[in-house]
Amino acid sequence: KAGRNTYRIFSEDIRSSITESLHLISSLRQAVAQEEFVLHYQPVLDLRTGALIGAEALVRWQNPKLGMVSPGLFIALAEKSGLIVDIGQWVLNEACRQMQAWRTMGAGPLFVSVNLSPVQFSRGNIEAVIAHALQTTGLDHGQLELEVTESTLIADTEKFIVTLSRIQASGIRLAIDDFGTGYSNLSYLQRFPVHKLKIDQSFVRRLLQGEKDVAMVSAIIHLAHSLGLKVTAEGVENEATSEALRGMGCDQGQGYLYARPMPADDFEAYWRARA
Ligand code: C2E
Ligand code: CA
Ligand code: CA
Ligand code: CA
C-alpha cells in the first residue's frame, strides 16, 4: 500500500540526514576557526590513599545555537571530516596550558590525560604537535598522559611503533583507553611502550552484578601488574564498586562517585580544597 510513497519518504529521510551532517560539518569547521571548544576535567584518584593524582581532559563544543554539545555527538564526524586533527591540536595545547597554569598556582604535579584519535596519528604530524604543546606551555613531560584506544594500536606499522616509542622516551606516558573492548590479541602490549590500562566502564559498571565481570576485571588488573603497568578503573559510580576495586588491587579510580567532569574553574576549586 505504501509502495512508492515509502520510497519517497525514505529518500527524503536520507537526504535530510545528509543535509544535517553536512550542516554539522560546516558548523564544526566554523567552531574550529572560532575556537568554540572548552575542556572539562575529571579527577583521577589514587584508590589506596584517595589522593587526587590527575585529571582527564574531555572536550565539549559550545555552540551558540546548539548549546553544549557532548563529544559523543561530534567526535566521529570530526574524525570522518579530518577536522579532528585541528580540534585535537587545540585540545593538547589547551590541556597543557591549563595544567601548567595550575602548577604555577600551587597544584601538585598532577597529570593531565588527553584523548588522541587514530586520525591524529595517520593524518597529523602528532609528534610535532605534542612537542609544540609542551614547549610553548612549559609543562613537564611527565605530567602529560596520552590515551589511545586498542584500535589505534592495531594499525601497527613499524613507523607507528617508532613514533610511540619516541613519545614515551621523552617522558610522556601512554594509556590504553577502554581496555577490554577492542581486540582479543594482546600481543601489542609487548610491542608498545604502554604505561597504563584503563578498564572500560562497561566492566566496571557490571562489577557487582556477576562473577564473570569480577573475573574479567581481576584478570585485567593482574595482567597489567605483571607487565609492570598501572590500572585505572573508569565509570566508578558507587562506593561498593570502589571498595571492590580497591580490594582487587586496582591503582586508580575515575567516575561519578568521586567527581563528574567539570569546567576548569571548578577543577581549580577542587584541587585547592584538597591541597
Ligand atoms: P572516554 O575517553 O572513555 O571518556 C570517559 C567518558 O565517560 C566521558 O564521557 C566521561 O564523562 C564519562 N564518565 C566518567 N565517569 C563516568 C561515570 O561514573 N559514569 C558514566 N556513566 N560515565 C562516566 P564524555 O566526556 O562524554 O566523552 C565521551 C568520549 O568522547 C570519550 O570517552 C572519548 O572517547 C571522546 N573524547 C572526549 N574528549 C575527547 C578529545 O579531546 N579528543 C578525542 N579524540 N576524543 C575525545
Ligand atoms: Ca579517555
Ligand atoms: Ca574510556
Ligand atoms: Ca570510551
160-191: pLDDT as tens digits: 788 889 999 999 999 999 998 876 667 778 77
CA of 181 to the centre of ligand 3 (A): 10
CA of 234 to the centre of ligand 4 (A): 9
Per-residue burial over 90-109, b if 16 or more Cβ lie within 10 Å, else e, is: ebbbbbbbbbbebbeeebee
Helix (H) or strand (E) run with residue 77 in it? helix 71-81
For cell 580490594, name the residue: 247
Q: Which grid coordinates belong to 134?
A: 609542551
Is the beta carbon of 78 within 6 A of some atom in ligand 1? no
- Closest C-alpha among 119, 116, 182 to residue 148: 116
Question: Which pTM value belongs to this model?
Answer: 0.92
Q: Among 4-8, 70-74, 122-126, 199-203, name the one with the lowest average pLDDT.
A: 4-8
CA of 13 to the centre of ligand 2 (A): 33
Is the beta carbon of 68 within 6 A of some atom in ligand 1? no
14 — pLDDT class (breaks 50, 70, 90): low
Is the beta carbon of 94 within 6 A of some atom in ligand 1? no
Task: List Cβ neighbours of 26 (8 Å cut-off, separation of 6 or more).
Answer: none
Is the beta carbon of 261 within 6 A of some atom in ligand 1? yes
Q: Among 9-23, 102-116, 163-177, 234-248, name the one with the lowest average pLDDT.
A: 9-23
Q: Is the ipTM of this complex over 0.95?
A: yes
CA of 220 to the centre of ligand 3 (A): 15
